Amino acid sequence: MVANNSKINKKINKMKEKTVLFSILFSVLFFLLIFAVKATLTNIELIKPENNVWLNVSQPEFKFKAISKESFNFSCKLLIDETNYGMNESVLNNTETVIRANQSLSEGTHQWKINCSDSNSSLVSETRTIKIDLTKPSIVLTKPSDGYTTKSREIEFGFVATDNLDAVISCSLIVDDAVKENFDVANDTEKTITLELSRAVHEWYVSCIDEAGNKEESEKRTVTIEKINYCEEGEKGEKLRITVKQPDENDEFYPKESIDVEVEVENRYDESLDVVVEAALYDLSDDEIVVDSEKDFELDEDEERTVTLSLTVPANINEKHHYAVFVKAYEDGNEEEQCKEDEIGIEIKRKSHSLVFENVSLAEQKSSCGSTNKISIKLTNVGRHEEEIKLNVKSSQLFLDWSRLLTLDKGDSYTGEVIFTVPSNITEGNYSIVVEAYYEYEEGIYESVIRKYLTLEVKGNCLPLPYKDVSFSLEQVSEAFSGMEFTIKVTVKNTGNVKTNYTVDVKEFEEWATLQEISKKTLVLEPDQQEDIYVKLQAKEDVVGMHTLKVIIGFDNVMKEETLNVEVKKTTKPASSIQVASFIIKQNLLWFVLVILLALCVIVLSVFVVKQTKGRRELARKLKRMETKLKKKGSKK
């Protein structure tokens, strides 16, 4: 027993020794691990320059921050393209540090990073890219030339900017020391900009900057926009003032379009003035008036008046030129002393394909059956391209079907006449004629069409042809009450010239009433004959207020309709005979008054006759009594 206990104790002691040994080894490894972690650099944070940035210096500065949990300072070096470009041996932990490249970098793309180390470890940062550009862009002005002079207020500026590295360059157009426009331009590619400037001498140049911040300015040039005097001696005097309300600056117009020039004129003089207002479409490129218009009138003291003058753009106008609308107002006979003017720049454009009818007219607006008439046509191509055209003149009612194929160059016109005879077998009336031009011919198809419509009045020598028509009226002949029946009278008249079958129908009442009866759903009427149809409906329970229904009269494939407003009144009890009589009296008031008057006459006459009859009887009785008395007296004697 003792021996066994001894063996057990020995085993226990050996196990304890092993446990202590393992604990010692684990502790040593744990402290070594902690020491190793504390001695390792954890991060290098790159701050500037940012990745893929452009720089315009050859020895840039590089900012970073090294971080450690144990060391307080490190040794760090700047690596550019894997070459040492500078070192700092006293970099503080978690502190922004700058290393400047100790050699000049060539223009182009470079990669950089930071490598730091202490006594126990070394760490390399991420790699970033920088682009070095030390060269300014070059700028060549292309237009207008220095000292350029023009009458057009629209000036096209052009230049070419070139850079050694950038694909895109940022530039600005400066006119009279003010930036007019900013834009990005492609490297070594001409850029043009159009501006509208005042009539004066202007100085201009271009400034450009590349991505690295290298800035350059072009030479400076001048451009002169000459003053155009629409007034004979330029603006003079203070008696008049003008304001151009229409068109607006840079409005667009097309050939054969009318430019409505709206001008307000004010008389500031203390007496009335005879005033002339003129407007002109002016070709600034050719320095000439294209078309003009004028109006004259008397303007009272302190009076303001707005007048409108129309200028039609010619079909053959050169849309590549510059144009303006000039306006002036002057005292009649005294333009050299009292004249005010204004100018509005406009744009003339031409559509790719476009036609206009300059004239479509009838020689006679009225014709008799069997007579001859004529249509005059002027068609102009105001588009940019030659046109193949199909010109039609048609009227199915007049049995007119005329057609012609044309070819018109840009700005050209076709002028022609179509002579036709008015048929003898039509009725008098107004007839429509359509004149149409198909154009923009592509692969056998005309893509576009324009139309003009004419109306010819035909009267005289015409054969009467049968026609059908109808007129009808609606009348509510009894009041409508909730839940009760009411009646509508429909008076139908044949307004055609032949006997016609008509149908009668009622619609759009279903929500508030039910149809009880239509006295006749079909009827036949001779010309000018009319007939009354009665429609009975019953208003639904609890329906009150104003409601509508439609009565439809049909013949052949024609449907005509009329709408009737019906007021449905609330019913508290069935209508009494007195209410019915009252409604009938209201509907027939004139006849009712006449009947009453007739009755009164009969009563008065009857009373008179009765009184006369009673008087005669009383007189007879008196005479008889007197006769009786006389006989008695005679017998006594």
> Residue 74's pLDDT is what?
86
Give the single-character DSSP code of 234: B
How far is 213 from 210, CA to CA, in rounded Å? 5
CATH number corresponding to 470-575: 2.60.40.10
Give the single-character DSSP code of 428: S
Average pLDDT rounded to a whole number, residues 334-356: 95
Give the single-character DSSP code of 612: H
Nearest by Cα to 459 from 371, 362, 364, 366: 366
Per mean pLDDT, which range of 19-23, 49-53, 164-168, 469-473 is the poorest? 19-23
pLDDT band at 581 (very low <50, low <70, confident <90, very high): low
> Residue 28's pLDDT is what?
40
How many residues in the chain? Answer: 637
Domain-wise residue ranges, the chain: 41-132, 138-225, 240-348, 355-458, 470-575
The region, left, alpha or beta by phi > 0 then psi within -120 to 50, assigned to residue 30 is: alpha
- In this predicted structure, the answer to whether residue 362 has a pLDDT above a threshold of 70 is yes
pLDDT band at 199 (very low <50, low <70, confident <90, very high): confident
pLDDT band at 69 (very low <50, low <70, confident <90, very high): confident
Which residue(s) pair with 505 in the sheet? 552
Average pLDDT rounded to a whole number, residues 167-173: 95
Average pLDDT rounded to a whole number, residues 99-119: 93
> Residue 609's pLDDT is what?
63
pLDDT band at 2 (very low <50, low <70, confident <90, very high): very low
Instruction: Determine what percent of the chain is predicted with pLDDT higher than 70.
Output: 88
CATH architecture label of 240-348: Sandwich (2.60)
pLDDT digits (tens, 9 = 90+) for 279-292: 999 999 888 999 99
* Cα-based angle 539, 542, 546 (whole degrees, multiple of 5): 60
> Residue 227's pLDDT is what?
87
Q: Find out whether 125 and 150 touch, Cβ atoms under 8 Å.
A: no
Per mean pLDDT, which range of 261-270, 354-363, 572-581 is the poorest? 572-581
> Residue 153's pLDDT is what?
86
The DSSP annotation for 289-321 comes to: EEEEEEEEEEE-TT-EEEEEEEEEPPTT--TTS
Nearest by Cα to 221 from 190, 175, 153, 169: 175
CATH architecture label of 355-458: Sandwich (2.60)
The pairs formed by 197-201 with CB atoms below 8 angstroms and a separation of 24 or more are 197/153, 197/155, 197/223, 197/225, 198/153, 198/225, 199/153, 199/225, 199/226, 199/227, 199/228, 200/224, 200/225
Per mean pLDDT, which range of 237-251, 299-313, 451-465 is the poorest? 451-465
Q: What is the Cα 404 distance to its own chain's centre?
A: 38
Q: Find out whether 114 and 62 touch, Cβ atoms under 8 Å.
A: yes
Nearest by Cα to 564 from 471, 481, 490: 490
Residue type, 453: Y
Average pLDDT rounded to a whole number, residues 449-467: 90
Task: Choose the CATH number for 138-225 among 2.120.10.80, 2.60.40.10, 3.30.470.10, 3.40.1010.10.
Answer: 2.60.40.10
pLDDT digits (tens, 9 = 90+) for 516-567: 999 999 999 999 999 999 999 999 999 999 999 999 999 999 999 999 999 9
The domain made up of 41-132 is a member of CATH 2.60.40.10: yes
Q: How many Cα atoms sit within 13 Å of 548 on the Cβ side?
A: 5
pLDDT digits (tens, 9 = 90+) for 11-66: 555 655 655 455 555 454 444 344 344 446 789 999 999 999 999 999 999 999 99
